[in-house]
Structures are given as C-alpha cells and as structure tokens.
Amino acid sequence: MEVFEAVRTVLAVRSYQDRPVPDDVVRRIVEAGQLTGSSMNMQPWRFVVVLHRDTLRRLGELARSGPYIAGAPLAIVIAVEKASKFGVSDASRAIQSMVLTAWADGVGSNWAGFGGLDAIGKLVGLPAEFDALAVIPFGYPASDVGRGKKKRKPLGEVAHRERFGQPFE
C-alpha cells in the first residue's frame, strides 16, 4: 500500500480479531517509530511492546479512553523524555508512522490514553525521566471498518493559499 493510500483509508480500530500479529510485522511497526525524524535528531521516545494478556487487560483498565486495549493482541506504550522540549510532537510523529505502517499490513490501531498515564508508566516500568504519552493497541480488525469511508470537511474549508481565507483550490 502506498503512503497516501494508507493515509486516505486508515481508520480507528477498537475491536480486534483473536489472532496474533506476526513478529516481523510487530518489528516493522516498531522500526517505523524508531526511524521517524525528530527535532535535532534527539529521538526522545521509548517504545514498550506489550504482548502479555494480563498486562494488556491492566492497560485497558488504566487507560480511561481505551478499555478495548484488553482485546488487542498487542499494545505499544509510547514514552517521552520529560526533559525534551519537543518530545510530545516528536513522539506523535512516531506514533503516526507506526499506525500507518501497521495499516499498510492490514493491522488496525487507535491512540488511547488521556488519563491513567502515570499508572501505565509504573505498570511497564518506565524510569523517572520518562512520561507515558500514549498506549496504542494493534490487531487485525474484527470487522470491516469501512476503509476509505472517512467523513472529512472539504479541502477548500480546511486549506488556504498564502493567507487564511484565500481559497486553496
């Protein structure tokens, strides 16, 4: 799948098949994060790959916006260096790289977190100099999620040329 096609068709997946994601696909997902560019090449992220069912269940309990994590065959906890000025934006770029790489291999995901992140950091043993930013569950979608059927505002409404208010199209 080409990059634009992955961007065009990717959707949030919150329900997963009871089927493991092969090790080579997991490795490619993690490598996509690792290879992502970062401000001043600081690479302020760390990725904790979680496969153990009990830990996935606990992540689902702790992440307020992601109880569905418990049903995924794997999740990746993304951590950022507390001292990094651009850690959140850099790690967010890495997350998008992982999500799109997974999608290109038929693996769905969704950004979860937004609450319970301190406890999640403790659960996966993050050192004091790191904060948990997000938990991304990954797995094969349990159903057809409607690839390419995104509801988006028209391009002319969100894009401008030279100055805000000047039509892009």
d(CA 46, CA 126): 9
Convert the pLDDT of each residue in 137-167 to its tens digit: 999 999 877 666 788 899 989 999 999 999 8
d(CA 144, CA 109): 14
d(CA 80, CA 43): 9
* Superfamily the domain 3-158 falls into: NADH Oxidase (3.40.109.10)
Convert the pLDDT of each residue in 82-119 to its tens digit: 999 999 999 999 999 999 999 999 999 999 877 789 99
